[in-house]
Amino acid sequence: MFSKKGFTPFRNSRIFLTGFTLIELLVTISIIGILAGIMVVTFQGQAAKARDTARKATLTEVMKALDLYYEKNGTYAVSGGGFKGAGAGWLDLEDNADYTRSVIGKLYDVGLFPAQKLTYFQNTTANNEYMIYDGNGGTGVPDTSGVCLYSFMEKENDTTIDQGLYDSYQMRYKLCKKAININL
């Protein structure tokens, strides 16, 4: 019949128990809980990286629109948009006397940008994720006719950003461009 070697519980008894012990269930549930916790932390980090990538893509789109504006007007300073109409400051702010029309709004008005508003990821009511400075008013711009775009980032840090923008506004990424003389 049965060998006496090895462990065969309750085979010879009248009661044959089936199922899992309490210890086995606790160990299994603990392992599942630990793995779920690791996945949540990993997912949150990846979601932040994805939002940062989307912010970079937004700045690239804005830079393309600014390049087209530069070709038509010979300057990156979008006339009538931004802080006091000088084409600098917050990219998408237009809620007070200093920001009557945003830079993005002006680019939209002249047909160079597909939307009047940008997508925000930090929170839905803030206009504080994107900034623009041209060479006439911004520090860190490559030359007096160039332009720099700045963005808030959750995960990435650009160490070349001016400390004032980095500390005060939490701008952690910049995209700059030198003006090219297209009149040969």
**What are the pLDDT digits (tens) for 73-127?**
888 888 888 888 888 888 888 878 888 888 898 999 999 998 877 877 654 444 5
At 30, phi and psi to the nearest 5? -65, -45
Nearest residue to 107 via CA among 125, 138, 144, 132: 132
> Considering only CA atoms, which of 99, 73, 96 is closest in space to residue 85?
99
Which pLDDT tens digit goes with each residue over 141-172?
556 668 888 888 887 776 666 655 666 677 78
For every residue of 144-160, DSSP letters joined together read: TT-EEEEEE-SS---TT
Q: What is the pLDDT of residues 42-59, one digit of tens each?
A: 887 788 888 888 888 888
Asked if residue 170 lies in contact with residue 152, where contact means CB atoms within 8 angstroms, the answer is yes
If you average pLDDT over residues 63-75, what whole number do you get? 91
Q: Among 20, 23, 1, 28, which residue's Cα sits nearest to residue 12?
A: 1
Q: What is the pLDDT of residue 83?
A: 84
**Which of the two residues, 15 and 116, has the higher pLDDT score?**
116
Asked if the model's pLDDT at residue 179 lies above 90, the reply is no
Summarize the confidence of residues 171-177 as an average pLDDT: 81
pLDDT value of position 183:
45
pLDDT at 71 over 60: yes
Residue 125 and residue 119 in contact, taking contact as beta carbons nearer than 8 Å: no
- Full DSSP string of 87-138: S-EESS--SBTTBSS-HHHHHHHTTSSS-SS---SS-TT---SEEEEETTT-
- Please report the pLDDT score of residue 184 as a whole number: 37
pLDDT level of residue 64 (50, 70, 90 thresholds): very high
Q: What is the mean pLDDT of residues 33-49?
A: 87
89-90 vs 171-177, strand pairing mode: unpaired
